[in-house]
Amino acid sequence: MGIVFLEQKLVGQKVDSGGLYRLLQCASKGDKAGVIQELDKGVEPNGADYDRRTAFHLAACEGWIEVVDLLLEKDLGSSFWGMALILASTNLLTARIAAGCFLLALVVVLFYAKNWTLRGLSIGFIIFLALIWFLTISSYHLFREKKCCLFLILEIAGVMNSLFSVYDIYDDLISRGVNSSDAEKFAEICPCPCNGVGWGFIWGMISFIFLGASVYLGLLILA
């Protein structure tokens, strides 16, 4: 029944067998493998249909707990990776490793990008980050006892990731003016006496704690 209603709501949209349409359909059917496949392709997990129902919303309504858990991880993922980048920027070796992983991720994005704007940004940042990474290796004696540009780049990227997570949770789960947010649907299936705004606040606080803890630990390590 839910699938038929979803298909009716998407009539008139330009869709194919993949993308947002398939993500919503898989979430509604509890197809965890299909959801993972679409997310790995870069489909926006917070995309919604005409009624602003997201994949999280549909999975929660149908009671697919595993899919709900999978989609919930996407909200806090930016905060986790932001924390990792901030902590990595406190040491030259870990900064190099993090930069190498960052470069690898950008190469993957380059191949999966669906437009030239994203490809161009990826290529530009790959060249920039690779140049900085090479300079830190070739000038190790200069950066052994002082901060280098690579540290600053990772710190900025980490803080921006964490702040994006906080903002995204606020915008998507707390400030939304209708009863169709992910947090509202999670509150319906969760036995805890907490409404959607409350869950959004809790998730936002978790994300903010990640940011605060990473900054504190980073300063502690540097001290």
pLDDT tens track for 152-180? 888 888 888 888 888 777 776 777 544 55
Say whether pLDDT at 5 is over 70: no
Q: Model confidence over 75-95: pLDDT tens digits?
A: 566 788 888 888 888 887 888
- Per-residue model confidence (pLDDT) at position 4: 43
Q: Domain boundaries in the chain?
A: 1-63, 64-222
- Per-residue model confidence (pLDDT) at position 178: 45
Token digits of residue 150: 């690579």
Say whether pLDDT at 73 is over 60: no
- Per-residue model confidence (pLDDT) at position 218: 83
- Per-residue model confidence (pLDDT) at position 172: 67
- Per-residue model confidence (pLDDT) at position 3: 45
Which alpha helices (DSSP H) does 89-148 contain, by range?
92-112, 116-138, 140-143
Q: How far is CA 11 from CA 8, 15, 132, 166, in A?
A: 5, 9, 49, 34
| Residue of 175, 154, 164, 172 lying closest to 210 (CA atoms) | 164
- Distance in angstroms (rounded) separating the CA atoms of residues 141 and 143: 6
- Distance in angstroms (rounded) separating the CA atoms of residues 151 and 223: 15
Say whether pLDDT at 216 is over 50: yes
pTM score of the predicted model: 0.59
Say whether pLDDT at 16 is over 50: no
**CATH entry, 1-63, from 2.40.50, 1.20.272, 1.25.40, 3.40.1130:** 1.25.40
pLDDT band at 37 (very low <50, low <70, confident <90, very high): confident
Comparing 47 with 121, the larger pLDDT belongs to 121
- Per-residue model confidence (pLDDT) at position 177: 47
